[in-house]
């Protein structure tokens, strides 16, 4: 068992309120996929208008995260913490998460490392987290009663098997309890985030705090529900300040309370009281379109279009893709490639990744979580866009801000699309 002995942990502004105005953090958005469906969560990958967890303007690969980290520290040397907090769950994207943490530890040995997780998939990685001297971990625990948990989580996914209701909530809770216990056994500081949902778990917060104290957690953060209109809890009213004050006071009988949380985005950067996320947005976008896949030449961009003029097809709807290049500053349509037939599940997206293996990006009107994850891992950047093909192509080739290309996101009516390959993406 490895005990963490390095660095001044007081430089973490989320765990030490006195550091809030002195030291900062950067969140590296390398984890787009999630393994649970919370009824309060709406993950918007390229939203620039909201400041809350689950939102980022771009997704980075671990290699791109290194480039971004270099640029951030050059402009903001007060950054002492590098964290991974989504926009999905770090351990639903374990390869990207661990690769990024290894990269930061190797290149920035004095930087504090932290991750924020729902606890579902973190267990197998705790020993390596300790080895990498990840000093702070946040686990979000909204209930310690599966009956209450079943009202909070739409589903829980484990090894591609989806569990719902009490069964899913019980599975998640077991993983969370084991994770907190094991993290503490490895000397890692643990903060518990608990979302307060009026009428669902607001009567249950004290029980959560008591159980987390029993497991050895260090800090407790009661967070008021952020009502997202596109979620099952979208119409629940946000708890008021007095309610939150009283709940924190009760929870404080068990654990110290975090009262300076700013509900950071998955791409947040800067000091908690001097956030610079918007200022760094173009830098993040530039890094997300930079190709760093060693030994792989990717001169092309694929486009999903119904008539060949506009980017207007969802990935799962496209039967073929235009392939474009830019030569001497001029755009040129090179060829057209057929997409794998609908159906076939996850294999469809792996086949598509091979078909587009020489493309740096694919322009589509929408995409599901599973193909997004597979294409990103293969080095093909999915870019959601709306409008004329050549304008979008020029933006991507010139490293422009791709979030500005996107129209209203298309999504499955159920809100629970797992990207099965059946045609919806």
Rounded CA separation 183/198 (Å): 30
Architecture of domain 294-405: 2-Layer Sandwich (3.30)
Domain limits of the chain?
9-285, 294-405
Comparing C-alpha atoms, which of 257, 277, 267, 266 is closest to residue 17? 257
Q: Report the relative pairing of strands 36-38 and 112-117 from DSSP bridges.
A: unpaired
Q: What is the DSSP string of 301-354?
A: EEE--SSSSEE--BGGG-SEEEEEEEETTEEEEEEEEEPPPS-STHHHHHHHHH
Radius of gyration of the chain measured on its C-alpha atoms: 21
User: pLDDT value at position 261?
Assistant: 59
Q: What is the DSSP string of 126-187?
A: HHHHHHTTEEEEEEE---SSHHHHHHHEEEEEETTEEE-HHHHHHHHHHHHHHHHHHHHHTT
Rounded CA separation 80/15 (Å): 13
User: pLDDT value at position 227?
Assistant: 76
> Which tokens in the block code for residue 377?
């891992």
Please check whether the two domains, 9-285 and 294-405, share a CATH topology: no
Rounded CA separation 331/251 (Å): 60
Comparing C-alpha atoms, which of 371, 360, 357 is closest to residue 398? 360
Going residue by residue through the chain, which has 425 residues, state the pLDDT in tens, using 9 for 90 and above.
333 344 455 666 566 556 555 677 888 988 888 899 998 887 654 544 444 555 677 788 888 888 888 888 888 888 888 989 878 899 998 988 999 999 899 888 888 899 999 999 999 999 999 999 998 899 999 999 999 999 999 999 998 899 999 999 999 999 999 999 999 999 999 999 999 999 999 999 999 999 999 999 999 999 888 877 778 888 888 889 899 999 999 999 999 988 655 566 777 787 766 666 677 677 777 777 665 555 456 889 999 999 889 999 999 999 999 999 998 888 999 889 999 998 878 899 999 998 998 898 999 999 988 899 889 888 888 999 988 999 999 988 887 666 667 654 444 433 434 444 444 44
User: pLDDT value at position 287?
Assistant: 75
Rounded CA separation 347/358 (Å): 19
Overall fold of domain 9-285: TIM Barrel (3.20.20)
Comparing C-alpha atoms, which of 190, 221, 227, 189 is closest to residue 208? 221
Sign of CA dihedral 181, 117, 99, 348: positive
């Amino acid at each position: 068992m490895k005990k963490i002995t390095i660095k001044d942990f007081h430089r973490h502004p989320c765990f030490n309120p006195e550091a809030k105005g002195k030291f900062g953090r950067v969140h590296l958005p390398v984890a787009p996929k999630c393994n649970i469906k919370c009824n309060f969560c709406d993950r918007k990958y390229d939203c620039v208008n909201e400041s809350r967890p689950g939102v980022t303007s771009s997704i980075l690969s671990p290699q791109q995260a290194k480039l971004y980290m270099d640029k951030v520290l050059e402009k903001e040397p007060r950054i002492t913490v590098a964290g991974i907090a989504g926009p999905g769950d770090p351990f639903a994207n374990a390869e990207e998460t661990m690769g990024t943490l290894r990269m930061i530890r190797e290149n920035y040995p004095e930087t504090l490392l932290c991750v924020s997780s729902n606890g579902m998939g973190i267990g197998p990685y705790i020993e390596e987290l300790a080895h990498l001297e990840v000093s702070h971990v946040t686990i979000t625990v909204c209930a310690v009663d599966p009956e209450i948990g079943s009202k909070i989580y739409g589903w829980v996914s484990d090894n591609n098997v989806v569990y719902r209701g009490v069964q899913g909530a019980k599975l998640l809770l077991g993983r969370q309890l084991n994770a907190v216990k094991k993290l503490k056994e490895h000397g890692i500081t643990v903060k518990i985030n608990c979302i307060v949902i009026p009428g669902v778990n607001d009567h249950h917060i004290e029980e959560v705090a008591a159980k987390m104290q029993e497991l050895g957690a260090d800090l407790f953060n009661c967070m008021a529900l952020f009502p997202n209109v596109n979620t099952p809890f979208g119409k629940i009213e946000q708890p008021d300040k007095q309610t939150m004050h009283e709940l924190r006071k009760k929870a404080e009988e068990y654990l110290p309370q975090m009262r300076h949380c700013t509900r950071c985005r998955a791409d947040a950067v800067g000091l908690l009281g001097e956030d610079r996320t918007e200022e760094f947005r173009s830098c993040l976008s530039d890094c997300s379109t930079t190709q760093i896949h060693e030994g792989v030449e990717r001169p092309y961009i694929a486009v999903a279009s119904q008539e060949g003029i506009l980017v207007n097809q969802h990935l799962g709807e496209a039967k073929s893709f235009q392939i474009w290049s830019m030569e001497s500053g001029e755009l040129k349509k090179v060829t057209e490639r057929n997409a794998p037939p609908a159906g076939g599940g996850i294999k469809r997206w792996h086949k598509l990744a091979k078909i587009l293996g020489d493309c740096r990006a694919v322009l589509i009107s929408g995409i599901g979580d599973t193909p997004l994850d597979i294409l990103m891992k293969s080095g093909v950047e999915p870019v959601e866009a709306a409008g004329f093909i050549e304008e979008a192509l020029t933006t991507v080739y010139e490293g422009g801000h791709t979030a500005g290309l996107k129209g209203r996101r298309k999504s499955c009516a159920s809100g629970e699309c797992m990207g099965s390959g059946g045609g919806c993406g």
